[in-house]
Amino acid sequence: MSDNTNPHTSSVAHGDGSAHGEDHAHGDTASHGTRGSYIKGFLLSVFLTAVPFWAVMTGAFKDPSTAVLVVMLFAVIQIVVHMIYFLHMTTKSEGGWTMMALIFTIILVVITLAGSIWVMFHLNSNMMPMANMADMG
């Protein structure tokens, strides 16, 4: 019979199947990121938000469709930044990044972006001009 007086090396169960001295990683081998990677992702996100905002607010683009395309491009890049730096998706399948997840993400992004543009276009074209509102009252 051995004498285990050190509580950190004993194999006393906690009721959840774990014992002292075991790694509490919960089977998760994916990286959770570092402070530096979170800061880098945050700075990229701020940049990818501020540049299109500045471009639209200053009227840097004369053609509205060019402005929309640039904003959409920055939005797609920002989605990728969020997926990499905050959701920790990598090209390794054990990190959770599989082809089906990529395809599903692309489909959702296309539906969201195309639907947003469609709704905004139709709201703009179907809105009653404010000059006509004075005649109604």
Whether 134 is in a domain gets the answer no
Does residue 26 belong to any structural domain of this protein?
no
Q: Taking a C-beta distance cutoff of 8 angstroms, is the pair 122, 128 a contact? A: no
Residue 10 in any domain: the answer is no
Spatial distance between the Cα atoms of 99 and 112, rounded to a whole number of angstroms: 20
Q: Reply yes or no on whether the pLDDT at 94 is more than 90.
A: no
Whether residue 7 lies inside any domain: the answer is no
82 touches 46 (CB < 8 A) = no
137 inside domain: no
Mean pLDDT of 20-40: 67
**4 within some domain:** no
Q: Looking at the 3D structure of the chain, how many domains does it have?
A: 1
In the prediction, which pLDDT does 122 show?
83
Residue 55 is given by DSSP the state H
Residues 6 or more apart whose CB falls under 8 angstroms from that of 8 comprise 20, 21
Judge whether 136 lies within some domain: no
| pLDDT above 70 (res 93) | no
Tell whether pTM > 0.75.
Answer: no
Report which of residues 44 and 88 the model is more confident about. 44
Side chain identity, residue 137: G
Q: Which residues are CB-neighbours of 51 under 8 A, at least 6 positions away? A: 74
21 within domain boundaries: no
Classify residue 48 by burial, with Cβ atoms within 10 Å: 0-12, 13-18, 19+: buried
Full domain range(s) for residue 97:
35-129
pLDDT category, 123, cuts 50, 70, 90?
confident
Euclidean distance between CA atoms 12 and 20, whole angstroms: 6
